[in-house]
């Protein structure tokens, strides 16, 4: 958890070099930080672990890939939670990430962990 600020700084600098607008950088930074928090808390259960990030841009599509070596996470198997419990104890991370990204895809890598691909489009003004 102590490295999350470092992740945000690295991501902001990488996205800035790609010419990504500040508002898009902010959305992606929040989504990636929340994703990394989930990986640390739920995948690695607060223990040590590795998270790898890559960033690319193709036209208006900005892609961030987050990979880990934690046990495979199956979002479809996530238990449904009472909204009151969600507000009190968390559980809003995945909906937040989905709201901030235009596309999200989870790829279980079996014993090698998980890969999540986030895409945000930076549309040109009309």
State the CATH number of the domain containing residue 102: 3.30.565.10
pLDDT at 84: 52
CA distance 107 to 126: 35
| Mean pLDDT, rounded, for 50-71 | 96
7 neighbors 50 (Cβ within 8 angstroms): no
Q: Is the pLDDT of residue 50 over 90?
A: yes
Return the pLDDT at 89. Answer: 55
Cβ within 8 Å of residue 71, ≥6 positions away? 43, 113
Residue 46 inside a domain? The answer is yes
**Residue 124 — pLDDT band, cuts 50, 70, 90?**
low
Full residue range of the structural domain in which residue 98 is found: 4-121
The answer to whether residue 126 sits within a structural domain is no
Say if residue 99's pLDDT is above 60: yes
- Using CA atoms, how far residue 47 sits from 25, 38, 43, 56, 126, in Å, is 28, 12, 9, 29, 47
Our count of domains for the chain comes to 1
Question: What is the pLDDT confidence band of residue 110, given thresholds at 50, 70 and 90?
Answer: confident
- The answer, yes or no, to whether residue 106 has pLDDT greater than 90, is yes
Residue of 88 and 75 predicted with greater confidence? 75
Whole-prediction pTM: 0.85
């Amino acid at each position: 958890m102590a490295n999350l600020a470092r992740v945000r700084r690295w991501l902001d600098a990488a996205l800035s070099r790609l010419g990504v607008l500040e508002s898009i950088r902010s959305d992606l930074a929040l989504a990636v930080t929340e994703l990394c928090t989930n990986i640390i808390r739920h995948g690695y259960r607060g223990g040590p672990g590795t998270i790898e990030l890559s960033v690319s841009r193709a036209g208006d599509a900005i892609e961030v890939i987050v990979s880990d070596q934690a046990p495979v996470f199956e979002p479809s198997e996530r238990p449904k939670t009472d909204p009151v419990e969600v507000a009190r104890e968390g559980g809003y991370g995945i909906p937040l990430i989905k709201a901030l990204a235009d596309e999200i895809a989870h790829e279980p890598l079996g014993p090698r962990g998980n890969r999540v691909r986030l895409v945000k489009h930076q549309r040109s003004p009309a």
